[in-house]
Amino acid sequence: MGVTRGANATLAIRNLSFSIGERRILDAVSAELPPGQVTGLLGPNGAGKSTLLRLIAGIEKPNTGSVDLDGSRVSELRRRESSQRIALLEQSASPGVDLRVLDVVLLGRIPHRTGLFGGFSGDEDRLIVTESLTRVGIADLTDRSWHSLSGGQQQRVQIARALAQQPQLLLLDEPTNHLDVNAQLSLLSQVRELGFTTVAALHDLNLAATYCDHLLLLQEGRLVAAGPPAEVLTPATIAAAYGVDCDVIPHPRGGHPLIVFAPVGRSTSTPPAPRAGSRVFQTRAGARFSPNDMVSTREQRNGMERQR
Ligand SMILES: Nc1ncnc2c1ncn2[C@@H]1O[C@H](COP(=O)(O)OP(=O)(O)OP(=O)(O)O)[C@@H](O)[C@H]1O
């Protein structure tokens, strides 16, 4: 018995549309998500990311289209079965009352309760809860009270609760919100190591480029790009979706896309002159660069284009 039982589920979203009143929130979204991998759900504020996660989880019903999890139509699953198979971690999730960490994570076992009065199965549930806490690196917090934890610790507890659910599919709505940079990187790296089929709504494009295998980019309820990070995160798609100017360069460690945003309201036409005594950095691989090399990438590319 482990927390990753049946984790490599296939997820197919077919022609999904959803309206609230006259307002179309999602419009004919279709996507096949790679099993056992992390899919990043991107898009500007109000694009429909949270709504899509709620539709995938079966909490909202689509007006048209379907979500199929390992061949089962999610909208037709009973609530208990969808809770057993899908864990959704919504933004700022909180148990409401001040429970111990152990009890918060134990809430993840509710969909698996058996018997007339739905009791927990004791040792087995305890084992799964302990394993879930260990998987996200917070076994030492087991007996702490929820309200005594920092935002980042609470976020990890919620992920442990989702794991204790033993889902086939993990849905995370902005899981790195309020986390410091260290906590953001380690949380997403842990999520990736879990090997679950995961969909994570993210605002930070560089985190998405680093930790996601596959990306979906939503804009005004429509899917405007889908594929590996290097295909989706181009200056053109980022400009079209977010209205910002950027360069995309290979990350010095690993080669995945690194998005360097052009400052808004600040001239970038001339690279700043090197300061006397400016430091030269060296990467672990031995490449040497100065701060000027980094900021002048755009100018170099523009200059090369002008020379053609
Ligand atoms: N209950 C509701 N009633 C009316 N409109 C809603 C409701 N819930 C969401 N919307 C609208 O649906 C659209 C999509 O919202 P959603 O929260 O899914 O976007 P999002 O991409 O997750 O945004 P954010 O990045 O800001 O969290 C928005 O325009 C929002 O105002």
Q: What is the pLDDT of residues 65-109, one digit of tens each?
A: 999 999 899 988 888 888 889 999 987 777 777 889 999 999 988
Rounded mean pLDDT, 124-153: 90
Q: What CATH number should be reported for the domain holding residue 21?
A: 3.40.50.300
Domain around 202:
11-261
In the reported structure, the alpha carbon of residue 174 is separated from the centroid of ligand 1 by a whole-number distance in angstroms of 14
Residue 153 is assigned to a structural domain of this protein: yes
Going by alpha carbons, the residue nearest to atom 30 of ligand 1 is 46
Distance CA 249, CA 256 (A): 8
Domain for residue 300, yes or no? no
Q: How far is it, in rounded angstroms, from Cα 46 to Cα 220?
A: 7
Beta bridge partners of 145: 100
Q: CB under 8 Å to 164, separation ≥6 — which residues?
A: 3, 105, 106, 108, 109, 125, 128, 129, 132
The minimum-distance atom of ligand 1 relative to the CA of 43 is 21
Ligand 1 pocket mutation, candidates 19, 23, 25, criterion most atoms within 8 A of CB: 25
Q: For a pLDDT cut of 90, what percent of the chain falls above it?
A: 56
Expressed in angstroms and rounded, the spacing between residue 273 Cα and the centre of ligand 1 is: 45
Q: Kindly state whether residue 302 falls inside one of the protein's structural domains.
A: no
What's the pLDDT at 180?
Answer: 85
| C-alpha 38 – ligand 1 centre gap (Å) | 23
Q: How many Å is the Cα radius of gyration of the chain?
A: 22
Rama region for 65: left / alpha / beta (φ>0; ψ in -120 to 50; rest): left
Cβ pair 214, 187 in contact under 8 A: no
Closest Cα to atom 4 of ligand 1:
20
- Please state the ipTM of this predicted complex: 0.97
Mutate to test the pocket of ligand 1, among 17, 29, 49, 222 (most ligand atoms within 8 A of CB): 49
Q: Is residue 120 part of a domain?
A: yes
> What span, in angstroms and rounded, lies between the C-alpha atoms of 93 and 44?
21
Identity at 159, one-letter amino acid code: I
Task: Let me know if residue 295 belongs to a domain.
Answer: no
Q: How many domains does the chain have?
A: 1
pLDDT tens for 181-237 read 988 898 899 889 888 899 999 999 999 999 999 999 999 999 999 999 999 999 999
Task: Tell me, yes or no, whether 273 lies in a domain.
Answer: no
- Does 269 fall in a domain? no
Closest residue to atom 17 of ligand 1, CA basis:
50
8 burial level (CB within 10 Å; 0-12, 13-18, 19+) = middle
The first and second tokens of residue 11, run together, are: 């997820």
Does the C-beta of 51 come closer than 6 Å to ligand 1? Answer: yes
In a domain, 191, yes or no: yes
